[in-house]
Amino acid sequence: MKTMKVGSISMDNTIFTLIAGPCVIESEAQVMEVASRMKDITNRLGIPYIFKSSFDKANRTSISSFRGPGIHEGLRILKKVKDEFGVPIVTDIHEPYQAKIVAEVVDMIQVPAFLCRQTDLLVASAETGLPVNIKKAQFLSAKDMKNVITKVEESGNENILLCERGNTFGYNNLVVDMTNIIEMKKFGYPVVFDATHSVQKPGGNLTSTGGNREYVEYLAKAAIAVGADVLFMEVHEDPDHAKSDGPNMVKLDEIEVILKKLIKLYKAVRDDESIRYSH
C-alpha cells in the first residue's frame, strides 16, 4: 500500500490514524473547544490526528437546514485550529472553484460521497497537489471506484485516500458491506472508514437525517478487523443539539473510551497479519 503524507502525518497500515471533528463549523468557539479536547485525547493515546469540519454542508436534506459559515469565514477558523494546535486539516468542497481557495489552508481535500463521480470536482481537487480523500458514493460498488481513481491519477495526482461510508437502497437507511474495504484496498491506496456517516438514516427525520450513534463503535471495530487503514469519526460536545448530523455523531465525552478499544483491536489485527505473512 502506498504511504500517504497529510501534513506531518504519514498514513500507512502500521499505525492507527484518526480523522475527527464536528460535522460543520457551528462557531469559532465550538470548533476550538472540540479541536483542543481532541488534540489532548489523541496526545494521551499516542495516535496521529487530523482535524475535520465543514465550512458548508451543501447537501442538507432541507433548504432551511444550517449549512455553516461559508468558505472564507470557515477557512479563517480552520487556519486558527491548524496554527494553534499544530494539526493537519481536512475539509470538503462541493464546487471546482473552491479547490484552489481551500488548498491555501488545508492539508487534504475531501470529496463528498454524492459528488465522487463529478469529473470537474475531482480534477480541480487533484490539481492542487494535495491528498484527496474520496468518499465512495452511497450508490457505487467498491469496484466502481477504479474509474474515480483514474480521473484523479490522470490529473497528475496519486495522493489518494478512499473512504467507505455505506450504501443506500432507499428507505432511509444505509447498509455497510465490509468487503468494500477489502476490495478498495486492492487499488493500493489507504482506505478510510467513516464510522459515523455509516450509521446515518438519510432523510430519516423527514426534514433532516437521522442516525444510530450507538452502532458507531461496533461498525468501527468491524472495519478495523477487515483492514481499514484510517478511521473517520465526527464528534460533538452535545450531539443532541448539534446543527448537523447530531444523531450519528459521537459524544466528545465518550470518544476516548471508544478509541482505546479500537486502538487495541487495530494493534491486534496488525500483529496477526505480520505473523501470518511471515510464513
Split at pLDDT 50, 70, 90, the class of 277 is very low
State the pLDDT at residue 279.
37
| Separation of alpha carbons 264 and 279, rounded Å | 24
State the pLDDT at residue 117.
96
| Separation of alpha carbons 101 and 120, rounded Å | 15
Phi, psi of 129 (to 5 degrees): 85, -5
> What domains are there in the chain, each with its CATH number?
4-277 (3.20.20.70)
Going by C-alpha positions, the residue among 118, 242, 228 that lies closest to residue 184 is: 228
| Separation of alpha carbons 197 and 180, rounded Å | 15
Q: Looking at 165-169, 183-187, 263-267, which range is the least confident one? A: 165-169
Split at pLDDT 50, 70, 90, the class of 274 is low
Q: Which amino acid is at 211?
A: G
Contact 65, 57 (CB under 8 A): yes
Question: In sequence order, what are the beta bridge partners of 250?
Answer: 235
State the pLDDT at residue 210.
63
pLDDT in tens, 98-111: 999 999 999 999 99
Average pLDDT over residues 193-211: 75
Residue 227 is placed in which grid cell? 483492514
State the pLDDT at residue 275.
47
Share of the chain above pLDDT 70, in %: 94
pLDDT surpassing 70 at residue 201? yes
pLDDT in tens, 204-255: 555 556 678 899 999 999 999 999 999 999 999 999 998 888 888 999 999 9
